[in-house]
Amino acid sequence: MLVCVFEGKEQWVVKEVDPPDLGEDEVLIQVKAAGICGTDIHILRAEYFQDFPIIAGHEFSGQVVEVGRKVSQFKVGDRVTADPNIFCDRCYFCKINKNNHCLNAQAVGVTRSGAFAELVAVPEKCIFPIPENLTFAEAALAEPLACVVYGAKRSGIQPGEKVLIFGAGPIGLLLLALYKVYGASQIVVVDVSEKKLAKAKEWGADLVVLADGTEDKLIREISPLGFELVVDATGIPRVQENELQFIQPDGTYLLFGVAPVGSQMTIDPYFIFRNDVRILGSYAVKKTMQYAINLLTQGKIPVKELVSASYPLPQFGQALQEVLHNPDRLKIQIHFA
Ligand SMILES: [Zn+2]
Ligand SMILES: [Zn+2]
C-alpha cells in the first residue's frame, strides 16, 4: 500500500509498504479522506511526543475492508471515522474518567501508524459509524470538531457572555460555531488573514479584527471591560501571552492552540490573582466524538466549507507546502480514490 512516512525531523517520503497486520479486536479501514492538522506539522518538526518513523494522519474517514476475529459492531463496507486516541481503560486515570490522560495512551498517527496511508488499522472501540448524508471529507473533520467540543465543554460559557477568539483557522472557526450554539452575545475573532476573517464573518462572528499591530487598541475599544472568555487557537506563545490582558475579572482563558513542546510564555501572576482568572487547557478528545458526529449529521456546522483543498497522497509535498506557506488556507486534506 502507498503511505507517507515521517522518517525523522523534517523528513518524509511517499512509498510502498506492506499493509498493516490486523489485531483480533481491530478494524482495517480503507482511508478516503485525511486532514493535515497543525499537530502533524509539530510531529514533522519533532515538536510533539511522536515516535519516528511514523505514518501520521489522525483526522480521517473511510470504509471498512476487513475486521478482526473479535470485532462485533462493524462489517466490511461500513463507512466510518475514528477517535485516534486509544486509552487502556485500566490505569489510574482511565478509572477515574480522565481517559485522555491515560498513562498508557496510544494515538493513531502519533505513536502508531495513521491515515496518510491507503489502509489504517484501528481498534474497534475507537471506531464510529458515519451516516450516508456525510461525505468522507466532512466526516474526516469529526475528530477536530470532537476536540473543539471537549474544549467548549471545559470552558463553558453562559448565554449572553462575550467571547474573544484568536485564530480563524479551522479550529478557531469550529470554536466560533460552537460558542454561537452556547448563546454568546458577542464573538470577536482576531487573525492575520483577511480571507480567514471574511470566513469568520460568514460563520457568524459579530466583529473581526485584523492582527496588523493595531489589534490591541481595537479590541479594547470593542469591549473596554474585557471578555468572559478568551480563547487561543493560534498555538503561538508570543501571541498567547498577549491574549491574557483581554480577560474580564472572573473570566476564563482557554489555551486551545498547540504550542511547541517546551516553548515558554510570560504571565503576570499578579494579574491572574487580582482578576480571579481561570486558565484552562484542553487536551485531545474525551468521549466527545459521537457528539461531533451528531452535530455534523444534523448539519449544525457547515464543515465542508473548511476544506480549502484536497490532494491525492502522491502529492503530499504540495499539500504540505500549502499548509506551511499559504496563510489564507483552512483545512488541507489528502484524498484517496
Ligand atoms: Zn488534529
Ligand atoms: Zn489508561
Percentage, residues of the chain above pLDDT 70: 100
Distance 38 CA to ligand 1 centre (A): 6
Q: Are the C-beta atoms of 31 and 118 separated by less than 8 Å? A: yes
DSSP single-letter state for residue 284: S
Q: What is the pLDDT of residues 245-264, one digit of tens each?
A: 999 999 999 999 999 989 99
Report the pLDDT value the prediction gives residue 135, as an integer from 0 to 100. Answer: 97
Q: What is the pLDDT of residues 2-20, one digit of tens each?
A: 999 999 999 999 999 999 9
Q: Please report where in the chains the cell 470566513 appears, as a residue.
A: 199
Residues having C-beta closer than 5 Å to ion ligand 2: 87-88, 91, 94, 102
Q: In what order do the strands lie in the sheet with 247-255?
A: 207-210, 186-191, 162-166, 227-232, 247-255, 278-281
Report the pLDDT value the prediction gives residue 153, as an integer from 0 to 100. Answer: 95
Q: Parse the chain into domains and list their residue ranges.
A: 2-140+302-335, 148-281
Distance 287 CA to ligand 2 centre (A): 14
- The ligand placed nearest to the CA atom of residue 58 is 1
| Measured CA angle at 55 (ends 330, 292), to 5 deg | 45
- The ligand placed nearest to the CA atom of residue 91 is 2
Fold classification of 148-281 (topology level): Rossmann fold (3.40.50)
Superfamily of 2-140+302-335 according to CATH: Medium-chain alcohol dehydrogenases, catalytic domain (3.90.180.10)
Distance 301 CA to ligand 1 centre (A): 18
Distance 217 CA to ligand 1 centre (A): 32
- The ligand placed nearest to the CA atom of residue 101 is 2
Q: What is the pLDDT of residues 37-76, one digit of tens each?
A: 999 999 999 988 888 999 999 999 999 999 999 999 999 9
Distance of alpha carbon 167 from alpha carbon 18, whole angstroms: 40
Average pLDDT over residues 146-172: 96
Q: Is 287 helix (H, G, I), strand (E, B) or coil?
A: coil
Distance 16 CA to ligand 2 centre (A): 33
Lowest mean pLDDT among 37-41, 115-119, 223-227: 37-41
Distance 144 CA to ligand 2 centre (A): 22
Distance of alpha carbon 74 from alpha carbon 136, whole angstroms: 17
Strand (E) or helix (H) holding 153: helix 142-155
Q: Is 317 helix (H, G, I), strand (E, B) or coil?
A: helix
Give this prediction's pTM: 0.96
Distance of alpha carbon 100 from alpha carbon 86, whole angstroms: 9
Query: Please, which residues have CB within 8 angstroms of residue 322's CB and are 6 or more apart in sequence?
Result: 308, 309, 329, 332
